[in-house]
Amino acid sequence: MANEERDGELREDERADLIAHLAELRGRLIRVLVYVAVGMTVVWIFFEPVYSFMVRPISGPLASVDGQLTVRGLLEPLMVRLEIVLVGGLMLAAPFVLYEIWGFVAPGLTASERRAVRPLVPVAVLLFLLGVAMGYAVTGPSVRVLLRYIPPDTRAWLTLNDTILLLLKFYLAFGVGFQLPIIIVLLAKVGIVDSRLLIRRWREAVVGIFVAAAIITPTWDPITLTVCALPMIVLYVLTIGAVKLIERGKRKQAERESLSG
């Protein structure tokens, strides 16, 4: 009888914890939606400068071949505006969304895990922005290369929606590609990879980076590929240094624990 009462109390406690977690999750999801809505509102208000800045890398190359952006239907301008507003709003809200995710996940981690993961959140945001900036920088040269293949007596009339979607995918692909150091560091923290493995496999890593750059970039010319791949290779080298620091910290902690034991 006493055992049944204890089991009942445990089930009640588990149910109460689950309800509390669900309530916290609901609150954080509502705040995330608010952050995204605020970000989208900001982009909607400042749409014209955002749009001008976004298409600036292709405006010059298009003008050089007497080309222009065109729309194919009445709804296309609205759809393009909504696409840019949605992606821009998500990017503006991303730091706050990550904060909410961290706030929900952190209580379930140990103190050492929290210390290990906490610095990665702002670094991930910074690397994403650097990746987007890199994609923005190589867009103009890539478009110039592609426009060289226009046949004689042909004008470059690019459809607005297709061009904007390509630019958004291009920028986001670079932002995601620059998350490579975060992935490697996380794998190192859980012991899946180490600095010796990363150094030993550097050739495969360089080949993989060039393949990824070839997939991301719209052109396969050697100059554009090299410009896109070099920052990722530099990040790979810097990540090896970061993994070495992590390993050094683990060794010192193990030495302290052995001495205290």
pLDDT tens-digit map of 21-75 = 778 888 889 999 999 999 999 999 999 999 999 889 888 888 888 888 888 888 8
Point out which residues pair with 157 in neighbouring strands.
Answer: 68
219 with 145: CB under 8 angstroms? Answer: yes
Residues 6+ apart with CB under 8 A from 29: none
**Residues with Cβ within 8 Å of residue 117, at least 6 apart in sequence:** 102, 109
Token couple for 66:
């007497």
Give pLDDT tens digits for 97-144.
888 887 777 777 677 667 767 777 788 888 888 888 888 888 888 888
Instruction: Give mean pLDDT, residues 197-213.
Output: 86
Q: What is the mean pLDDT of residues 212-232?
A: 74
CA dist., res. 192 & res. 186, Å (int): 9
Helix (H, G, I), strand (E, B) or coil at 158: strand
Residues in the chain: 261
The structure's pTM equals 0.75
Whether pLDDT at 168 is above 90:
no
| Domain definitions of the chain by residue range | 1-175, 179-261
